[in-house]
Every structure is written in C-alpha cells, then in structure tokens.
Chains A and B, each alone.
Chain A
C-alpha cells in the first residue's frame, strides 16, 4: 500500500468517526470539538487532492472561525451537557440517509468517469495544472467568475448585516 493510501484511510476513518460523534453524542460541547476534527480531516483530504490552498482556507474558515462561532452560540444557550436529544422521527430519519447513501455509492462506483489519468499525457497535464494553484484560482475568480465573486462579497455583507440585526438587543 502506498503512503497516500494509508493517509487516506486514517483520515477517512477519523473523519467518519468524528462525524458520527457530532450527531450522536449527548454533550454538545464535545460534538462541537469533534466537528473541528471532521474539518481538519477534510483539510487533510484536500492536501491529498493537490488542493493545498483550499486546505488552508478550510482550516482558517471552518476549523477556526465557524467552530468558534458554534461554540459561542452553544455557551449562549442552555443544556450544553445534555442538550443533544433525538426527536420522534428516528426510523424515517435513519431510513432516508441509508437509502440516499446506497443510491449515491452505486452511482459513484458505477459511473464511467472521464478521468484525466486516461489521457495520453496525463502526468504532464496534472503536473502543469495543479502547480501554483492559488495564482490560477485568483485568475479564474477575477476573470472568468468575476460576477459570482462580486455576488459572494455582497452575500457576505448581507449576511453580516442580517446576523447583526437578528441578535441586536432592543
């Protein structure tokens, strides 16, 4: 087995185990900490997929900012220790994800993907495309997707103003 395979399986097992902990644990503070573990394992997968910039963004935004926000919200509400109760919809709530998972797994494995590896000069293409990705991503964002980039900025501004007006005391 290659080193990358070992890293993949370790990260995958840790990530899925932590994800199950997030939804099943009673102690919500531990759930929030396990969510950070899931985010970090996904960041590791991004490194395996030659998306180093996204791995850094993932650690900064998800593992840093979003998890701190969630922990603050937990502390502002009650029942942190025993708060993660199930509702009365256990059977359908278990059935739907199970069905969806089997359907997705079948589709993913059965589809005949048009892989980059199948091209004659795959090695050269992958080497050239996935080197210096921050520069290429910046070019794509500011040229091809400039409109969506501006819209994302407007969305963030709107959500900041919305969140402020929601939690304002008056």
Chain B
C-alpha cells in the first residue's frame, strides 16, 4: 500500500483543485487551484518513479549499470518538466488576470464574457 497511498493522496489534491477551478469566480483562485492540480500530478509522477519498476530494470534485474538504473528516475525528470510548465503557466496566467483587471475592472471570470454576447 506504500505506492497506493501516495497516488490516492495525489488524486485527492487533484480533485480539490478541480473543484476550485470549476466552482470559484475569482480568476486568481482558479489559477491557485490549477497550481494545486499541477502539484498533485507531480506528486503522482514522483511516487511512480520511486515504487514502480521500469521495463529495462524488470527485464534484467541483475544489470546494475548506471544507464539501467537511470530509467527509474524518468518520473522525476517528468516532474521537473511539469514544474517548468507550471511556472510558465502561472506567469502568463497572472499577466492575463492583471490585463483583465485593467481593461474590465474585475477579476470575476463570470464577468469576462465579452465574446459570448
């Protein structure tokens, strides 16, 4: 159950974030909830990397070469890329929120409906 409890925890964090994205009106809360979802996915990737074996290692457990063992770290590399994408996303997202506030005087996403009228 070592792996499963981390995965279920990450699912809980992801779903709390999803609720925040769907149910809140303030654009900054929506962005914070998105960050929660990113973090949850990162946690799942790192947990997989620690507990689930890779095809290379499973095919030949006796092979302890550096290249074979590094395949176990793929999840951590994925987590690093998720962090980079999350940083780019939050910088652009907050830029959009501030531009929205300047032009409309609100950060309420249900007021940002120019294109639906």
Contacts and interface: CB of A to CB of B under 8 A. Distances in A.
Contacts of A117: 2, 51
B90 A105 contact: no
Interface in A72-124: 72-74, 76-79, 83-90, 92-94, 96-98, 100-101, 104-105, 108-109, 113-121, 124
B112 interface: no
A20 B22 contact: no
B87 A109 contact: no
Given A23-B17, A35-B36, A128-B69, A87 B88 contact: no
Contacts of A7: none
B76, B83, B98: most-surrounded residue (chain A CB, <10 A): B76
Nearest to B97: A73
Nearest to A156: B88
Main secondary structure of the interface of B (DSSP, over half): helix
Interface residues of B, number: 78
Interface residues of A, number: 91
Contacts of A73: 28, 94, 97-98
18 contacts: A31-B29, A39-B39, A51-B79, A61-B83, A69-B91, A77-B98, A87-B109, A100-B14, A116-B50, A116-B57, A125-B61, A129-B73, A133-B76, A140-B70, A141-B77, A162-B95, A166-B99, A167-B98
Interface of B: 2-9, 11-20, 22-26, 28-29, 31-33, 35-36, 39, 42-43, 46-47, 49-53, 57-58, 61-62, 64, 66, 69-70, 72-74, 76-77, 79-81, 83-92, 94-99, 101, 106-110
